[in-house]
Amino acid sequence: MRIFRARLAPAAAAVATLAAAVVTPLVAGPAAAAQGCQVDYRPNVWPGGFTATVRVAPGDTPVNGWTVTWTYLGDQRITGAWNAVVSQSGATVTARNAAWNGGVPAGGATEFGVQGTVGPAAPAPTGFALNGVPCNGTPPGPTTAPPSPTNSPSPTISPSATPTTSPSPSPTGPPPAGCAGAVLCDGFENQTGSVPSGDWAVVHPDCAGTGAAAVDTATAHGGGRSVRIDGGGGYCNHVFVRANRDLSGVGTVRYGRLWVRHTTALPADHVTFLAMTDAADGNRDLRMGGQNGSLQWNRASDDATLPEQSPAGVALSVPLPTGRWSCVEFMVDGSTGQLRTWLDGAAVAGLTADGVPTHDVDGQWYGRTWRPRLTDLKIGWESYGGAADTLWFDDVALGASRIGC
């Protein structure tokens, strides 16, 4: 039997595309389970390997301590896990709660993840149960068709079996809708002019060129207004819209949520669409954007990237879809130096710095001590090559707890 202990934070659903879900309800009680429970198993498969995010929802009755079991029908072998203590004996997998996420309220949920190896076939697992009770109230059995293989390159994942001691704040269920207690929550509906003003200011750091920001009434995610950014190629053609709101109430742990729509796929060149000044890093920016076609984080002070820009590291991130609204969420914990990212509600493995240096992911990021103290929020476009883009931002929120999409 192989046992894998929880890592400090998710490194989870990666490789952009395939997400075949096995959904079977789940159970509840102090250590029991109730009708209406669900287990949602969402794998990402590439030739030779996989990760899977497992969402556990107990339904109408809370649980205080949980054990989830399932059976693999193929040759999947688990090599690592996060947010749970996971063991595998033959085809049977047992996942037990970590020290910090055993309590799940009625109507709530928690998530954990696994990663492993797989042969040519990866049929969907079956027989999901919570605390010994089959989910859905039905006997274990096949639930969905097997996931189709992807064309994604095979990343090199370096799992860590290091036990954790003081986990970073981790939501135990889906975040609330809306802006629930956020310090900043703005859909730009109070903008009456053609250029952002009032709670926002248009800024061009260092130099100004062709980049422009405007209030757009033709394209919006919610309501009737958004901020449109026409970003040019080349550094001086950048433009940002900076929040004028006092963000000191956010505290050490900062959660952000923004809806973004753009027209041109992320380029091979380095670009930025979100930046936050870090007072603990010489007032240089912590930047989110893209490189090599996928999302990345970058520190302006030393140009460290998350993930590392190796082929395996890039494969653990995801592109930012074009031609539609996407929900981007992030968490930065200044006390532990950790960072997480979600795209449309799914955690992105390559955009996770969990405190344990991992080759291809956050090994470069933790080349030095990082304890950020973020003081502002800027959205816009900055290109360090020749890439231009048109973007829209809407329903931007910042707070001390996860806000959700």
pLDDT, tens digit, 9 for 90 and up, residues 99-121: 768 888 887 788 888 888 888 87
Q: What's the pLDDT band for 352 if we cut at 50, 70, 90?
A: very high
Model pTM above 0.75? no
* CA 141/CA 71 separation, integer angstroms: 9
Q: What's the pLDDT band for 242 if we cut at 50, 70, 90?
A: very high
Do 251 and 374 meet the contact criterion of CB atoms below 8 Å apart? no
Q: What's the pLDDT band for 47 if we cut at 50, 70, 90?
A: confident
SS3 229: strand
Q: Which range (148-152, 250-254, 303-307, 395-399) has the least confidence? A: 148-152
351: phi then psi, degrees, rounded to nearest 5 = -110, 35
Task: Using the predicted structure, report yes or no on whether residue 16 has a pLDDT greater than 80.
Answer: no
Which residues face 126 on adjacent strands? Answer: 71
366: phi then psi, degrees, rounded to nearest 5 = -95, 25
With the CA atoms of 375, 381, 383 and 389 taken in that order, what torsion angle do they form, in degrees rounded to the nearest 10?
A: 160
For residue 35, the model assigns a pLDDT of 57
E strands present in 305-404: 305-306, 326-333, 338-343, 346-347, 378-383, 389-399
Do 23 and 59 meet the contact criterion of CB atoms below 8 Å apart? no
Q: Choose between 55 and 379: higher pLDDT.
A: 379
Peptide bond into 10 cis (omega under 30): no
The CA angle 37-42-45, to the nearest 5 degrees, is 155
What percentage of the chain has pLDDT greater than the value 90?
Answer: 58
Q: Which residues contact 5 (CB under 8 A, 6 or more apart)?
A: 81, 85, 161, 162, 163, 164
**Tokens 């026409």 found at:** 230
* CA 89/CA 92 separation, integer angstroms: 5
pLDDT, tens digit, 9 for 90 and up, residues 138-197: 433 333 333 333 333 333 333 333 333 233 333 333 444 467 678 999 999 999 999 999
* CA 128/CA 375 separation, integer angstroms: 45
pLDDT, tens digit, 9 for 90 and up, residues 387-402: 999 999 999 999 999 9
Section 239-254 average pLDDT: 91
Rg (the chain; Cα; Å): 21
Task: Using the predicted structure, report yes or no on whether residue 361 has a pLDDT greater than 60.
Answer: yes
Query: Other C-beta atoms within 10 Å of 241: how many?
Result: 26
